Amino acid sequence: MHVLLLSCCVLVLLVPGPCFTAPTFMPAGDSSPSTEPQVDLKLATEYLQQYYNLQEEPMGRMKRGGPSFTSKVKDMQMFFGLNATGVLDSNTLETMSSPRCGVPDVEEYSHIQGTRWNKNVITYRIGRYTRDLPRNSVDSLVESAFSVWARASSLTFARSHTRNADIMVEFVSHAHGDLYPFDGPRGTLAHAFGPGLGIGGDTHFDDDEHWTAGETGFNLFVVAAHEFGHALGLKHSGNPESLMYPTYKPSRSANLLSGEDVANINALYSPVTGRPHYFSRFGWSSQQNPRQSGSPFPQLMQNKCASDLTFDAVSTLGEATFFFKERYLWIKHNEHYDIKEGPITNFMPKIETSIDAAFWVPRRSTAYLIHESTFWTVKGSLVKGKPRALSHFGFPAWVQDVDAAVHIVKTGRTLFFMHDIYWSYNENRRVMDFGYPKYISEDFPGVNTTINAAVHKDGFIYFFVGPEVYQYDYTQKHVVGVEKANSWLGC
């Protein structure tokens, strides 16, 4: 199923940035060029990379007149009804500067057009509240936002007070455990996940914004209605009259929905059965570039408290710890008790495989996710570029996979484990250390078996071996404790 995030009050397109005003759509015509070309070029390049899949050039260079850049500018101009010249005129730059949501504008959405809940009675729960409004006001505004869709369709929304509600509504700030941190005032306003198990349907609002019931600040009713459209499976619309249009408009008619919105929600929740379910992510943040995924969502959620639970890979990633098993992922934020979970493609749509090993290099704010003989680079919450060959790290040709990897900040080394041997990679010089591979049992006394996953935290290496975790003192060279793997997920 698919996920979306909203970026402003009235928000309609899920893109980064709060939508406190709608972009001005002026008649196509000649506009004066910007007086700050370098600033404009940087803005446009980042914008097009975020929302129009503009590929970064080698060494990070981008030419304003390059054919790819120009064609992407035209794509953007056509989407917003501007004069499609490919030139960064003032109207184009004004639109690029306007608050908006984080979903790419020119993605092919047909493969997720059928995402929906497989029922017509949908439950919701309000978890953490905003400090800006009384609780009863939040309750009323959220209920009214759901009613917008209920009146236009066969759907019924029932408030629940249990943690297994379909749609969890929460006001949070900064990093909050789902890989899409909020960015403070007037940035990302909200985001939502499309229909699905686990985190599916969950809708988060940035509590650093000023939420109101009127036309000042950000109108919670309007933003919530837009977000709930995404939580129900709707995508963005290019129609400025649609609630699902990409930018926030502070004032609207009493009836938020356009005829198009009504038709789309009823087409999605028609009596047709047997539709496939997908789980995609839409982020309202200039720092994100979430995309839809067509990977089928697992029929059942993984049981994180199963006594025999094992992990394929474990790694910190910024302020969270990621646990990979097959094509499933749990994310535990270091400062929160709740755990986000779902298919890997929900959080990283480019990755449609399992992950065999993963490690995090803090000084680069970069994680590396390995699958067999290839790896992905993850910076922030984005998978950067295409997968690369594992041989990039200097492995001999016969190494086609690794079991685990872990980066040791103090030494600047990344250790790669395979069967009964391991390598040491110098991250500063970006070469393998001389004399490797070596035997794991000789350099890590007490660890005499294949390692499934490894992570470095608080001065210790934690080796995940089957359903157990060995706490290893890297300085003293011995195991100092053993616990169950699922204890890391609060079991």
pLDDT classification of 26: cutoffs 50, 70, 90: very low
**pLDDT > 70: what percent of the chain?**
77
40 is in an annotated binding site: no
178 is in an annotated binding site: yes
66 is in an annotated binding site: no
Q: Does 227 participate in catalysis according to the annotation?
A: yes
C-alpha span between 167 and 232 (Å, rounded): 9
Q: Which residues contact 271 (CB under 8 A, 6 or more apart)?
A: none
Query: Residue 264: which H helix or E strand, with range?
Result: helix 259-268
Measure Cα distances from 349 to 89, 233, 378, 390 in Å: 33, 17, 12, 21
Long-range contacts of 367-373 (CB under 8 A, 24+ apart): 367/315, 367/317, 367/322, 368/405, 369/313, 369/315, 369/324, 370/313, 370/401, 370/402, 370/405, 372/400, 372/401, 373/400, 373/401
What three-state secondary structure class fits 363?
helix
204 is in an annotated binding site: yes
pLDDT value at residue 296? 31
Assign domain 313-489 to its CATH superfamily.
Hemopexin-like domain (2.110.10.10)
166 is in an annotated binding site: yes
Over residues 147-180, the pLDDT tens digits come to 899 888 889 899 988 878 999 999 998 888 877 7
pLDDT value at residue 181? 76
308 is in an annotated binding site: no
Structural tokens at position 29: 């015509």
403 is in an annotated binding site: no
Report the topology of domain 110-282: Collagenase (Catalytic Domain) (3.40.390)
DSSP β-bridge partners for residue 359? 368
pLDDT classification of 462: cutoffs 50, 70, 90: very high
117 pLDDT above the threshold of 80: yes
What three-state secondary structure class fits 488?
helix
266 pLDDT above the threshold of 90: no
Answer whether 281's CB lies under 8 Å from 350's CB: no
Domain ranges of the chain: 37-97, 110-282, 313-489
114 pLDDT above the threshold of 90: no
Structural tokens at position 34: 């910007």
Q: Which residues contact 251 (CB under 8 A, 6 or more apart)?
A: 215
pLDDT: is 481 or 66 the higher one? 481
pLDDT value at residue 58? 56
Q: Which residues contact 332 (CB under 8 A, 6 or more apart)?
A: 177, 320, 321, 323, 339, 488, 489, 490
Please indicate whether the domains covering 37-97 and 313-489 agree at the CATH topology level.
Answer: no
Strands 281-282 and 190-193, bridge-based pairing: antiparallel
pLDDT value at residue 255? 73
C-alpha span between 446 and 411 (Å, rounded): 22
Q: Phi and psi (nearest 5°) for 199?
A: -80, -5
pLDDT value at residue 450? 87
Over residues 340-399, the pLDDT tens digits come to 888 888 788 888 899 999 999 998 889 999 999 999 999 876 888 889 999 999 998 888
CATH class of the structural domain 37-97: mainly alpha
Rg of the chain over all Cα atoms, to the nearest angstrom: 24
Over residues 405-426, the pLDDT tens digits come to 999 998 999 999 998 899 999 9
CA 116 to centroid of chain Cα atoms: 19
Measure Cα distances from 402 to 30, 121, 406, 417 in Å: 57, 46, 11, 6
pLDDT: is 277 or 63 the higher one? 63
Q: Which residues contact 79 (CB under 8 A, 6 or more apart)?
A: 105, 106, 238
pLDDT value at residue 253? 58
Cα atoms in the Cβ-side hemisphere of radius 13 Å centred on 441? 5
209 is in an annotated binding site: yes
Query: Residue 320: which H helix or E strand, with range?
Result: strand 320-325
230 is in an annotated binding site: yes
Note the helical H segments in 98-254.
Answer: 135-152, 220-231
Over residues 128-147, the pLDDT tens digits come to 999 999 999 999 899 989 98
pLDDT: is 401 or 284 the higher one? 401
User: Which one of the listed residues 227, 319, 341, 372 is annotated catalytic?
Assistant: 227
Strands 218-219 and 357-361, bridge-based pairing: unpaired
455 pLDDT above the threshold of 90: yes
231 is in an annotated binding site: no
C-alpha span between 108 and 392 (Å, rounded): 32
Structural tokens at position 452: 């499934």
